[in-house]
């Protein structure tokens, strides 16, 4: 158990719908990261938040957005869902975000999203 929790574990929805994925970081960690794991794209970085502020952005679609709340939990919002958005969405956390990269990211169990 990494200490990072994600809910829900599984989500089945229809095209065009909107879903929210939730992540609670390890106690004391200020940085939260979101990654998408799909069969065709592999594991891809989506977005990072540090202490409530967006820190880095990857290949995140405009239909997707995220935020980090004062209690440091984060939510990833996926809207106008398409079949191709079906994937495993991982959240990770790390203590700080110095930009030096010398930090271990601890991953949660993931949310498996299926869009029908």
DSSP state of 85: G
Q: Which of 85, 108, 111, 113 lies at the binding interface for another protein (CB under 8 A)?
A: 108
What is the C-alpha separation between 115 and 81, in angstroms, rounded? 7
Stretch in the footprint of another protein (CB under 8 A) among 21-29, 63-71, 76-84, 98-106: 98-106
Q: Which of 19, 33, 78, 113 lies at the binding interface for another protein (CB under 8 A)?
A: 33
Smallest distance, another protein to C-beta of residue 18, A = 25
Kindly tell me which of 46 and 115 has the beta carbon lying closer to another protein: 46
Residue 78, classified by CB atoms within 10 Å of its CB into exposed (0-12), middle (13-18) or buried (19+), is buried
91: which residues sit within 8 A by CB, 6+ positions away? Answer: 4, 6, 21, 23, 25, 32, 33, 34, 35, 74, 76, 107, 108, 110
Smallest distance, another protein to C-beta of residue 56, A = 3
Answer yes or no whether residue 107 interacts with another protein by CB under 8 A.
yes
What residues line the site for another protein (CB under 8 A)?
Answer: 2, 4, 31, 33, 35, 42-45, 48, 50, 55-56, 58, 90, 92, 94, 97, 99-110
């Amino acid at each position: 158990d990494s200490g990072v929790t994600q809910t829900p574990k599984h989500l089945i929805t229809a095209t065009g719908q909107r879903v929210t994925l939730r992540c609670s970081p390890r106690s004391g960690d200020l940085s939260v990261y979101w990654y998408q794991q799909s069969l065709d794209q592999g594991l891809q970085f989506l977005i990072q938040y540090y202490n409530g502020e967006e820190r880095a952005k990857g290949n995140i679609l405009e239909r997707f957005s995220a935020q980090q709340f004062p209690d440091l939990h984060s939510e990833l919002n996926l809207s106008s869902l398409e079949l191709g958005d079906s994937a495993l969405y991982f959240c990770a956390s790390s203590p700080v975000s110095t930009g030096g990269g010398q930090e271990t990211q601890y991953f949660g169990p993931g949310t498996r999203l299926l869009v029908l």
